[in-house]
Structure 1
Amino acid sequence: MYKHFLFSALLIVICPFVHGQDDWKLKSDKDNIKTYSKKLADSKINAVKIESVFPCSVSQFVSVLMDVDSYDDWIYNSKSTRLIKKVSPAELYYYSEVAFPWPTANRDFVSHVVISQDPRTKIARVDAKNVSGLVPAKPNLVRIEKSSGTWVITPQGPNQVKIEYILQVDPGGDLPAWLINPFASKGLVETFKNLRKQLSKPEYVSARPPFIVE
């Protein structure tokens, strides 16, 4: 139970690429999902990368990521999420709280999400970064102050995309790195499994964001 809650702390920050693409170590390759980790010079928490192929369009995948109200349905142990501000169809801010077991305090954060796409390759990228000042700190919650992650969505053919997600986040508080690092990839795998189910819902199958080119 405690491990499962730790997994979720590393999942729900959806931000710029962790610089440098080498030194990744493969941790798991199962069910069409590969997970990697990498040590970082400036953090005690490892960066995590996960790769998989999904039977969907770029539009479908982007539509799920931009539907903040649905995050609790598929992001592992997300307690509550709400939209703060929608700047444009391709940019928004949201607030989220992550559930942790007693006596560990829940975590929360505010994230700024921006989507871009290369019109030539049609590769889409979803960047987000935690921001401060939009939501006051709340009693009994630990505010996540450092997080970065990026989704890269690459078309592979008709109704198929390759997904790469890179995440680096420090959940704050007194959780030791030796406890967090071993389980990060497992939590991402659970989220990716949930994501497959989410993508099959009718509202996403027919979605066509105006800023995405197929």
Structure 2
Amino acid sequence: MIKYILAALLTLSCAITASAQEDWKLSTQKDGIKVYTRSVPNSKLKALKVDCNFNATLTQMTAILTDVKNRGEWVYHTKSFKFLKQASPTDIYYYSEVAMPWPLQNRDFIAQLVTSQNNTTKVVTIDGPLGENIIPVKEGVVRITDSKSKWLIIPIDKDEVKVEYVLQVDPGGTIPAWLVNMFASEGPIQSFKALKLQLKKPEYKDKQLAFVKDY
């Protein structure tokens, strides 16, 4: 177990170093869920990092995070999720609309989920870049054109993983500071709490994925 943890930490360290200096600051902590923020050059909005341990296997957690048809059940303030296409077992495209409080316009985006696993550390990485605009922009909805996200699923033990999520997004338009703060602090906590409940669903218990090897 120790060698996997050390190798995973080394992978994370290299990734952080390669992406320049990151000064993450703890913003919120609740129910084992930690939310960090950091400033982004040339942006008024901050990047988010969330981490939490889950009682799950690598396969179970990967299956849930890549199950876009059911993402609306746990992702904060989701109005709709729509599966678009699957280029390969590890490359999925989906559409999502984010519900915003009145009088603000909803936001939507098209994204990919690209999954890979390190053969040595067993760490699963799920990149979430924006995809092509294969769905027309809706009237009254602002299309997000600047967003980067990444999930890391790190094995701790046979039935325990550490999940780290990083998001940097520009929602476009004008959004009041109170709303930005709400999404930055409350959003990750609510999503990760709902994710824990999602893990209890029977369809994920014995899930098998050909592209993921468990601890």
State the shift of 1:182 in Å.
5.8
**Aligned twin of 2:169:** 169
**Aligned twin of 1:30:** 30
**Aligned twin of 1:128:** 128
RMSD over aligned Cα, in angstroms? 1.8
**Aligned twin of 1:107:** 107
**Aligned twin of 1:44:** 44
**Aligned twin of 1:191:** 191
AA partner of residue 105 (structure 1): Q
Paired with 1:201 and 1:146, the residues of 2 have a C-alpha distance of 33
Paired with 2:39 and 2:103, the residues of 1 have a C-alpha distance of 29
Paired with 1:121 and 1:212, the residues of 2 have a C-alpha distance of 12
State the shift of 1:131 in Å.
2.5
**Aligned twin of 1:84:** 84
Paired with 1:85 and 1:100, the residues of 2 have a C-alpha distance of 26
State the shift of 1:28 in Å.
2.0
Paired with 2:22 and 2:96, the residues of 1 have a C-alpha distance of 31
* 2:30–2:189 contact (8 Å) kept in structure 1: no
* 2:51–2:162 contact (8 Å) kept in structure 1: yes
* 1:45–1:181 contact (8 Å) kept in structure 2: no
Does residue 116 (structure 1) correspond to residue 148 (structure 2)? The answer is: no
Paired with 1:182 and 1:138, the residues of 2 have a C-alpha distance of 25
How big is each residue's C-alpha offset from its partner over 1:79-104, in whole Å with a ceiling of 9 and x where there is no partner? 11111111111111101111112221
* 2:24–2:37 contact (8 Å) kept in structure 1: yes
Instruction: Give SS of 1:20's match.
Output: coil
Paired with 1:37 and 1:130, the residues of 2 have a C-alpha distance of 21
Bigger radius of gyration among the two = 2
* 1:50–1:185 contact (8 Å) kept in structure 2: no
**Aligned twin of 1:53:** 53
In the alignment, structure 2 segments of 5+ residues that lack a partner are 1-14
Runs of 4+ residues over 3 Å off in structure 1: 176-179
AA partner of residue 91 (structure 2): E
Asked which structure has the greater RCO (Cα within 8 Å, sep 6+), the reply is 1
- TM (norm. structure 2) is 0.87
Q: Quick check: which one's strand share is greater?
A: 1
* 1:109–1:130 contact (8 Å) kept in structure 2: yes
- TM (norm. structure 1) is 0.88
User: Where does 1:149-160 land on structure 2 (aligned, <5 Å)?
Assistant: 149-160=149-160
State the shift of 1:185 in Å.
2.6
Paired with 2:200 and 2:171, the residues of 1 have a C-alpha distance of 31
State the shift of 1:152 in Å.
0.4
In the alignment, structure 1 segments of 5+ residues that lack a partner are 1-15
Change in CA separation of 1:118 and 1:111 when aligned onto 2, cut-off 3 Å: same
AA partner of residue 188 (structure 1): P
Moved more, 178-187 or 23-32: 178-187
Paired with 1:131 and 1:203, the residues of 2 have a C-alpha distance of 28
Percent identity, aligned pairs only? 43
* 2:35–2:185 contact (8 Å) kept in structure 1: yes
Q: Aligned pair count?
A: 199
Paired with 1:43 and 1:107, the residues of 2 have a C-alpha distance of 19
How big is each residue's C-alpha offset from its partner over 1:28-76, in whole Å with a ceiling of 9 and x where there is no partner? 2221111110001132110011111000001001101111110111111
